[in-house]
């Protein structure tokens, strides 16, 4: 790949990713409203929200939370850039992990009952999804002969037929990261009122906007990772449709599920998610897939 192509893809990723993320969040609200028999807000509603938040007067609860909000945003953008540069997938996930740590530290840095509760719950969410996310890279690497994303492009065949177990496990991860029911434990993606928005409780105005923006990037990045499973071959257009279909299924789950306890979440994620991937790695190692 030429340098120009790489630079172009980075620029596109950094500019287009939040636009897609914001639109998806808007469509999410619209579809959710329709499922509840309402009309719902315009699909560009989340851009209005974001601009409004940026225009509010800052109200801060200590310096560390501001530092970590910036850290969260920048690190997620870095992960997106590394993804666009087709770097090592494991490294992309490590950067994403660091971003997650920043979000938690931002919440835990304020002596506030709700923020503390949210921060600790977010840690448990990370405990639930991080191992699956990291493990999901292994079968991909075993199939394609290496960890860099370039290898997936050079592999020449779609991964999903062989790695659908891993794919399902990643869907669980996506649901936890998106904070959708039944995993809206540390906070909720929607503006629900439980633990008055957990990790986000003490953020307001521009800094809330920064975190929302980072969340858009994160959403698009995870959907893009799901897209990698179809990225090559004649069915490449499925790499766009499949993540969107999965995302739609998660919307339905969100609307029909209640929130469940964190202990259930950890058990479910470790039990089901890790087992699925373990099975997948095993069959790949044995050469059955």
Q: What is the C-alpha R_g of the chain?
A: 19
264: its two tokens: 């259930």
Q: How far is the CB of 172 from another protein (least distance, A)?
A: 14
Q: Site for another protein (CB under 8 A): how many residues?
A: 97
* Residue nearer to another protein on the CB measure, 33 or 235: 33
Q: Judged by CB under 8 A, which of 17, 25, 29, 231 binds another protein?
A: 29
Tell me which residues in 143-172 interact with another protein (CB under 8 A). Answer: 145-148
Element at 217 (helix H, strand E)? helix 205-227
- Is 260 a residue that touches another protein (CB under 8 A)? no
Tell me which residues in 40-59 interact with another protein (CB under 8 A). Answer: 40-42, 45, 47-52, 54-59
- Is 179 a residue that touches another protein (CB under 8 A)? no
Q: How far is the CB of 208 from another protein (least distance, A)?
A: 6
**What are the residues facing 93 on neighbouring strands?**
none
- Is 208 a residue that touches another protein (CB under 8 A)? yes
CA atoms within 13 A on the CB side of 214: 25
CA angle 201, 205, 210 (to 5 degrees): 85
> What CA–CA distance (Å, rounded) separates 191 from 134?
29
With 0-12 / 13-18 / 19 or more C-beta atoms within 10 angstroms meaning exposed / middle / buried, residue 39 is exposed
- Is 209 a residue that touches another protein (CB under 8 A)? no
Element at 18 (helix H, strand E)? helix 3-35
> What CA–CA distance (Å, rounded) separates 116 from 62?
14
Q: Judged by CB under 8 A, which of 74, 153, 155, 164 binds another protein?
A: 74
Tell me which residues in 7-26 interact with another protein (CB under 8 A). Answer: none
Part of the chain binding another protein (CB under 8 A), chosen from 160-168, 191-199, 218-226, 248-256: 191-199
Contacts of 165 (CB under 8 A, 6+ apart): 276, 277, 279, 280
* Residue nearer to another protein on the CB measure, 20 or 278: 278
- Is 75 a residue that touches another protein (CB under 8 A)? yes
Q: How far is the CB of 119 from another protein (least distance, A)?
A: 6
- Is 33 a residue that touches another protein (CB under 8 A)? yes
């Amino acid at each position: 790949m030429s340098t120009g192509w790489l630079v172009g893809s980075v620029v596109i990723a950094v500019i287009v990713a939040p636009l897609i993320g914001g639109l998806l969040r808007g469509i999410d609200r619209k579809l959710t409203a329709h499922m509840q028999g309402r009309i719902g807000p315009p699909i560009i509603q989340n851009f209005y929200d974001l601009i409004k938040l940026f225009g509010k007067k800052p109200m801060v609860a200590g310096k560390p939370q501001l530092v970590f909000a910036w850290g969260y945003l920048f690190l997620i953008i870095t992960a997106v850039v590394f993804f666009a540069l087709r770097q090592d997938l494991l490294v992309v996930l490590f950067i994403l992990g660091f971003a997650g740590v920043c979000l938690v530290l931002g919440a835990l840095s304020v002596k506030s009952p709700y923020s503390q509760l949210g921060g600790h719950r977010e840690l448990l969410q990370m405990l639930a999804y991080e191992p699956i996310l990291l493990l999901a890279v292994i079968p991909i690497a075993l199939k394609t002969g290496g960890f860099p994303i370039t290898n997936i492009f050079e592999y020449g065949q779609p991964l999903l037929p062989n790695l659908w177990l891993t794919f399902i496990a990643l869907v669980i991860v996506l649901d936890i990261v998106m904070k959708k029911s039944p995993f809206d434990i540390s906070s909720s993606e929607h503006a629900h009122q439980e633990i008055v928005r957990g990790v986000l409780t003490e953020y307001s105005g521009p800094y809330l906007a920064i975190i929302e923006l980072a969340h858009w990037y994160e959403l698009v990045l995870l959907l893009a990772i799901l897209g990698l499973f179809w990225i090559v071959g004649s069915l490449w257009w499925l790499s766009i449709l499949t993540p969107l279909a999965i995302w739609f299924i998660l919307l339905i789950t969100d609307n029909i599920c209640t929130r469940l306890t964190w202990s259930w979440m950890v058990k479910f994620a470790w039990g089901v998610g890790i087992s699925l991937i373990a099975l997948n790695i095993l069959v790949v190692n044995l050469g059955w897939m």
